[in-house]
A and B are shown apart, each in its own frame.
Chain A
Amino acid sequence: MPIREEAAMTEIYNSRFRPEIQDAQRAAEYEATGSDYGANGYLTMRQADELLAHLQLQPDDVLLDIGSGTGWPGLYLANRSGCRVVVSDLTVAGMVQARRRATDDGMHARTSSVVASGRHLPFRPDSFDAIVHADVLC
Chain B
Amino acid sequence: MHSFLTGILAVDPVPWARAQMAFTLSAHIILVPLGVSWAFITLIANYRGVRHGDTDALVLAQRWSKYMAITFAVGAVTGTVLSFEFGLLWPRFMGQWGEAFGIPFAFEGLFFFAEAIFVSIYIFGWRRMKPWPHFFSGIPIAICGIGGSVSVIAANAWMNDPSGFTLDKAGRIVEVDPWGVIFNDAMPLMAAHMVVAAYVVGGFMIASVYAVGMVRGRRDRYHRLGFLIPFTVAAIAVPIQIGVGDLLAGWVYQNQPVKFAAIELVPKTASNVPETLFGRLNDDGTVSGGIAIPGLASRLANPSMGTDTVIQGLDAVPAGDRPTARQVTIVHWSWDVMVGSGMLLLLLSLWYGAVWLFRRDMPQSRLFLLMASASGVLAMIAMQAGWVVSEVGRQPWIVYNLQRVNDAATANTGVWITFIGVVVLYAALAAATVYVLRSMSARFQREDGHDLPVPYGPSDHSVSEP
A binds B: no
Chain A residues proximal to chain B, CB less than 8 Å: none
Chain B residues proximal to chain A, CB less than 8 Å: none
